[in-house]
Amino acid sequence: MKRIIAAAAAAIAFGTVAAADPVAGTWQTEAGDTGGYLHVAIAPCGSDICGTISKAFDASGSSDGAYENLGKKLIWDMKSSGNGDYAGGKIWAPDSDKTYVSKMALNGNKLKVKGCVAGGLICRGQTWTRVK
């Protein structure tokens, strides 16, 4: 009986690790107009993928613990469409305080993130780098 319980526990633990989404982790945004950048923690939220601002940095690379949007969701409702592509989500742009339809493409330790309006005809984006 102990072996069965131990085997079941190992299978559950292995299944959880194996099921982790490859985009999960911490990502660094490109620098904004002022030279500051963010760290975004991306993780599953239910059956979707979400990203939350976990740290902010000024142009000199110093951590900005007083940044007003720490802990705010930046990405939500993102769904994997396979092969490192994600779509169907929303992204909030702190610089404009606007929300856009979003898509992402994962390629190794780079994540191309886009926010679009007008049915996807007008987009702006960044390439984020994996921190961890």
CATH architecture assignment, domain 22-130:
Beta Barrel (2.40)
How does residue 120 score in pLDDT terms, banded at 50, 70 and 90?
A: confident
Does residue 8 surpass a pLDDT of 90?
no
Does residue 13 surpass a pLDDT of 50?
no
Domain ranges of the chain: 22-130
Which residues, in sequence order, are bridge partners of residue 110? 107, 129
Segment 18-32 shows an average pLDDT of: 88
Tell me: the pLDDT tens digits for 54-100? 999 999 999 999 999 999 999 999 999 999 999 999 999 998 899 99
Q: What pLDDT score was predicted for residue 16?
A: 37
Q: What pLDDT score was predicted for residue 19?
A: 55
Q: Residue 100 and residue 102: Cα distance in Å, rounded?
A: 6
Nearest to 62 by CA among 25, 37, 32, 45: 37
Does residue 15 surpass a pLDDT of 60?
no
Measured in degrees and rounded to the nearest 5, phi and psi for residue 8 equal: -65, -45
pTM above the 0.95 mark? no
Q: Is 88 left (phi over 0), alpha (psi -120 to 50) or beta?
A: left
